[in-house]
Amino acid sequence: MNKVVDLYIPGGKELLLVAKLATVGYVAKAGFTLDAAEDIKLAVEEALGAVNGERLHLQMAADKENVLITIEGEGTCLPDETEQEVVRYVLESMMDSVEIEAGGETTAIRMKKSLIGGAR
C-alpha cells in the first residue's frame, strides 16, 4: 500500500472524529492489528489536540514496513518545551518514533509505526 492520504479539517473538536475514523480505516487497510490501530488512533487524537490550529492537516503514508503520519496545525504552536516533552512522552508510548517541530505559527508532529515486529 503506497497510497498517501491528505485530510484537511478546520481546527476545533467538531471534526476530529472524521480524522480519527480516517486513521483507523487507513491503518487497518495497511495491515495493523486492532490493538495497534487503536494505539495509532489515540496518538493521532493526542497530536491533533496538541497542535490545535485554525486549520489541521493529517497526512498518512504507508509502505511495506511502516506507516508515517504527519499532523500540522496552522495558526498555533505548542506553548513551551515542557508541554512538548509531555506530548512527546505520551506519543512515544504508542508510536515507534515521534518528531515535533514547533515554531512561528505552525506546529508539526511526525510519527512512525512499524508493521514489523508484532504490529500485524
pLDDT digits (tens, 9 = 90+) for 71-94: 998 866 666 777 778 888 999 999
Question: Looking at per-residue confidence, does 114 or 1 come out higher?
Answer: 114
Mean pLDDT over residues 66-71, rounded?
Answer: 95
Q: How far is CA 26 from CA 72, 89, 93, 109, in A?
A: 18, 24, 21, 18
Q: Which of 118, 119, 81 minimizes the C-alpha distance to 100?
A: 81
Q: Poorest-confidence range of 60-64, 100-104, 106-110?
A: 100-104
Q: Which of 13, 68, 31 minimizes the C-alpha distance to 58?
A: 68
Task: At 31, list the grid cell.
Answer: 495491515
70 with 62: CB under 8 angstroms?
no
Share of the chain above pLDDT 70, in %: 90
pLDDT band at 67 (very low <50, low <70, confident <90, very high): very high
Question: Looking at per-residue confidence, does 19 or 79 come out higher?
Answer: 19
Rounded-to-integer distance, Cα 49 and Cα 67, Å: 20
The backbone torsions φ and ψ at residue 109, rounded to the nearest 5 degrees and listed phi first, read -125, 125
Helix (H, G, I), strand (E, B) or coil at 92: helix
Rounded-to-integer distance, Cα 97 and Cα 23, Å: 17
Share of the chain above pLDDT 90, in %: 48
Give the per-residue SS3 of 37-88: HHHHHHHHHHHHHHHCCCEEEEEEEECCCEEEEEEEEECCCCCCHHHHHHHH
- The domain ranges of the chain are 7-114
Homologous superfamily of the 7-114 domain (CATH):
Histidine kinase-like ATPase, C-terminal domain (3.30.565.10)
